[in-house]
A and B are shown apart, each in its own frame.
Chain A
Amino acid sequence: MELFDAEILGIIGLTLRMTLLSTAISAIIGIPLGLWLDRANFAGKRLVVLINRTLMASPPVVVGLVVYLIFMRNGPLGFLRLLFTFEAMVIAQVLLITPIICGIVYVAAGRNAARIRMFAVTMGASKRQTRFLIIKELSNEIFFAVITGYGRAMSEVGAIMIVGGNIRYHTRTMTTTISLLRNRGEIEQAVVLGVVLMLIALTVQIIADFLRKRERRLDENF
């Protein structure tokens, strides 16, 4: 394998598509779920929060195994024929990341949402305006949650290895490739790919900083 041949570029592209898609889906599910969980009052709420906290730290291989069992040929959803596909990897990653985003948003809402809601009432805000205000006021925390989730998606290897199968041109991602190259003893290429992975992580953080710049400039008045 050369340094940046078509195959490597394909792998990088696939990795970016997979992580962005799974993070987006997780954000769409996890953000409202975290906000809702903060407001909701039902019998098993504490248990739900405990389970979510556990899922936040769940080992990727276990999640991968569960998804594998569900989608394997004889599994409950085996007929969908999703095993060893891009979709299966995204599903596994969504299961890994959603609890992280939901958990961070839940904690942030618990700390501030009640006060924001009170303020909204004093300003005469409607229900819709209040919901919008809460999201806007928590946007820094929500942003942090999404970035953390994306970090997990980028770094994770266990789950996508199991459900994706690390199939060449098909489900081979950066992390699974590094793992494969190391097994083959092709350390040099593994390191190169590792560096590229780190550069992508750095780029994500720089973009994050750029998007947050306005807020930060305001913060400097403290």
Chain B
Amino acid sequence: MRISNLQKNFDRFSLHIERLQLPRGEICGIIGANGCGKTTLMKLMAGILPPDTGQIDTEGLAPQDITMVLRKPYLMHDTVIRNLTYPLKLRGIKPDVELVEYYLELAGLQDDREIYAPGLSSGQQQKLALIRAMIFSPKLVLIDEAFSNLDMESTAAFEWLILERQRTETATYLICAHQLSHIQRLCGYVFFMHDGRIEAEGPTDEMLLRPKSQRLQKYLQYASLKEGAADGIPDS
């Protein structure tokens, strides 16, 4: 995905991305303070928000190949299993029983398939949304506040899943996470946003270990200070 001169203005915030290229087949991270525009940028990429000006070149990807997992995912008024298989139903694909089983187990939902999905805990909801976004093998997956509600075991499972999927299916990922450890383990490339702009970008090691931007240096300082906490601080 390639973006040029993208703009989106809200009453008290404006996003302006001059140039952005998502490396194909890479797991990319996006970091930055609360309110810097990470979610807005991802929604623009996902086609959920229309841009005011500028182009998003999906480089041959159809809208059906792109998906986004929102921080508070929408779950249909239906069972876990119907939520999980919904994207397959839309595509007229008959769910592969083994695959469904595999994903349910990964999310720890194997005994909850007939449960009313909106009644799940927030962590379970996020896990369901994640496997629902993966099950139809999209080519570009945008994940907002990826692990904000997950316990450590689930986080590890999903980190593993993303790495595995990206290796076998060469999908592109863009992951927003507040904990730098997730970014470090998962991402090969990182974007740092500040006040509606891309302030810095580069390979993960370079960005996290030898940051050139002063704002990034400062952000990393704060970020590593709160790294001890189990969860990142979700955006409002």
Given contacts A115-B74, A137-B76, contact A124 B87 (CB under 8 A): yes
Asked whether, in the complex, the Cβ of A221 is within 8 Å of the Cβ of B115, the reply is yes
Interface of B is mostly: mixed
The reply to whether the CB of B12 lies closer than 8 angstroms to some CB of chain A is no
Residues of B within 8 A of A119 (CB): 70, 73-74
Contact with A along B51-80 (1 / 0, CB 8 A): 000000000001111111110011011110
Given A115-B74, A137-B77, is A122 in contact with B46 using a C-beta cutoff of 8 Å?
Answer: yes
Would A124 and B63 be within 8 Å (CB), given that A118-B74, A129-B90 are in contact? yes
* B90/A121 in contact, CB under 8 A: no
In the complex, whether B94 has a CB less than 8 A from a CB of chain A is no
Question: Which residues of chain A are within 8 angstroms of B64 by Cβ–Cβ distance?
Answer: 124
A140 is an interface residue with CB less than 8 A from chain B:
yes
Interface status of A42 (Cβ within 8 A of chain B)? no
Q: Does the CB pair B133–A122 fall under 8 Å? A: yes
CB neighbours (8 Å) of A107 from chain B are none
A215–B74 CB distance below 8 A: no
A121-B116 contact given A115-B74, A140-B77, CB 8 Å threshold: no
Residues of A within 8 A of B65 (CB): 124
Evaluate contact between B90 and A124: CB separation under 8 angstroms. yes
List the B side residues contacting A115 at CB < 8 Å. 74
Q: Which of B69, B116, B132 has the most CB of A within 10 A?
A: B116
CB neighbours (8 Å) of B76 from chain A are: 133, 136-137
A121 to B43, CA, bound (A): 10
- Residue B218 interfacial (CB < 8 Å): no
Contact B77 A123 (CB under 8 A): no
Complex Cα distance, B76 from A126, in Å, reads 17
Closest-CB distance, A95 to chain B (whole angstroms): 32
Nearest CB of A to B121, in Å: 11
Q: A125 at interface (Cβ–Cβ under 8 A)?
A: yes
In the assembled complex, A43 has its CB within 8 A of some CB on chain B: no
B119 at the interface (CB under 8 A from A): yes
Name the residue among A121, A122, A123, A126 with the largest chain B CB count within 10 angstroms: A122
* Known A123-B87, A124-B87; contact A118-B63, beta-carbon cutoff 8 A: no
Residues of B within 8 A of A221 (CB): 115-116, 119
B48 at the binding interface (Cβ < 8 Å): yes
User: Could you tell me if A121 and B46 are in contact, using CB atoms closer than 8 angstroms?
Assistant: yes
A80 at the interface (CB under 8 A from B): no
Closest to B77 in A: A137
Chain A residues with Cβ below 8 Å from B115 are 221
Point out the residue from A121, A129, A218, A220 that lies within 8 Å of B47, measured CB to CB: A121
B219: interface (CB < 8 Å): no
Tell me which residues across on chain B come within 8 A of A218, comparing CB atoms.
Answer: 77-79, 116, 119
Q: Mark A35-56, 1 if CB is under 8 A from B, else 0.
A: 0000000000000000000000
Interface centre among A118, A124, A126, A139 (most CB of B within 10 A): A124
The answer to whether B91 has its CB under 8 Å from any CB of chain A is yes
Question: At the interface, yes or no: A116 with Cβ under 8 Å from chain B?
Answer: yes
CB distance from B138 to the nearest CB of A (A): 8
Q: Which chain B residue shows the least CB distance to A123? A: B87
For A219, the chain B residues whose CB sits under 8 A away are 116, 119
Given contacts A124-B67, A124-B90, A222-B119, 4 further A-B contacts (CB under 8 A): A124-B65, A126-B90, A215-B77, A220-B116
List residues of A whose CB falls within 8 A of some B CB: 115-116, 118-119, 121-126, 129, 133, 136-137, 139-140, 215, 218-222
Q: Which 5 A-B pairs rank lowest in CB-CB distance, beginning with the nearest?
A: A124-B64, A218-B116, A119-B74, A221-B119, A222-B119
Q: Can you name 19 A-B residue pairings with CB atoms under 8 Å?
A: A116-B74, A118-B43, A118-B74, A119-B70, A119-B73, A119-B74, A122-B48, A123-B86, A124-B62, A124-B63, A124-B67, A124-B91, A126-B90, A215-B77, A218-B79, A218-B116, A219-B116, A219-B119, A221-B116
